[in-house]
Amino acid sequence: MIKHILGALILGAFSLLVYCGFRVWVLDLAERNNTRHYQDVQGSITAMAPEQVLAMTVPRVSTEILPEYQSMVQEYPNFAGWISIYGTDLSLPVMQEQEDDQDFYLTHDYQGAETEFGCPYIPYYDSYDSDNVIIYGHNMRHEQMFGLLHRYQDQEFWEDHRLINFDTPYQHKVYEVFSVMIVSVEDRHFRFQTFTDFRSPSQAHFYINESIERSIFDTGVEPEDDSKLLTLVTCEYTIPNGNGRLVIVARDVTNYSH
């Protein structure tokens, strides 16, 4: 009897080991395919160094699509922009979620194909020209999608990558990170995800002040209340039940013409 039990336990352990190994192999294969998939579109986009953008003067309002994004706009009506962090591998298209198909880009890429990696997206109630552009992305292993953002918890990484490029289809823009925080989606005092277009200077002040006070380190950057903002959001696992979010908040420092 004992031999039978031991045999069953060994068989069960071996089966589990085989399953786990197979699962890792499947994930690795999916990651390689995902990398190649996005490399195809990345090859058509040359991300500018933020210093190059800051040296430019861009129009405050532009109606002409940037040449490098014309094909993306034509092929993908939900294309909302391109996000990149210079000096890293993060360089990705950003899509606009539709109200009648919420969470679509959690499980689909920019072409609409199903994938567990999803694609960075702006929620349906927000847009690329709002006061605060919120972009969601999966926290994938090997720093795919928004997996790289966890590095911002290291102040030294922030110092080297404090500037983030986010181009709309019409403009090159640069944002400076001023807050790195971990927030629960169940935090009733600060529902960061609801702040998109500020209804008043006091609401903007509240969002900026909360972001600064909750930052895991002091960046010394204090935006004005009328600053345009960019908020990047991905999952964070120190808060139980999947409620944690790593939130990176940045201010627009683009040089605009009047």
Q: What is the pLDDT of residues 154-187, one digit of tens each?
A: 999 999 999 999 999 999 999 999 999 999 999 9
Comparing 21-30, 103-112, 119-128, which segment has the lowest mean pLDDT?
21-30
Measuring CA to CA, which residue among 101, 106, 93 is closest to residue 234? 106
Helix (H) or strand (E) holding 93: strand 91-96
Residue extents of the structural domains in the chain: 1-43, 48-257
Task: Return contacts of 211-218, CB within 8 angstroms, 24+ apart.
Answer: 211/178, 211/179, 211/181, 211/247, 211/249, 212/178, 212/179, 214/179, 214/181, 214/183, 214/190, 215/178, 215/179, 215/180, 215/181, 216/153, 216/180, 216/181, 216/182, 217/155, 217/158, 217/180
Alpha-carbon span 16 to 209, nearest angstrom: 49
pLDDT in tens, 69-87: 999 999 999 999 999 999 9
Does domain 48-257 sit in CATH 2.40.260.10? Answer: yes
> Averaged over 111-116, what is the pLDDT?
94
> Averaged over 207-235, what is the pLDDT?
97
Q: Which residue(s) pair with 176 in the sheet?
A: 163, 251
List % helix, strand, coil for the chain (3-state, nearest 5).
40, 25, 40
The pTM assigned to this predicted structure is 0.86
Alpha-carbon span 31 to 19, nearest angstrom: 18
Average pLDDT, the chain: 87
Specify the pLDDT at position 8. 52
Alpha-carbon span 52 to 242, nearest angstrom: 39
Which pLDDT band holds residue 130 (cuts at 50, 70, 90)?
Answer: very high
* CA pseudo-torsion sign 111, 116, 120, 123: positive
Measuring CA to CA, which residue among 121, 132, 74 is closest to residue 98? 121
Burial class (CB in 10 A: 0-12, 13-18, 19+), 156: exposed
pLDDT in tens, 8-36: 555 554 544 444 343 443 444 445 454 55
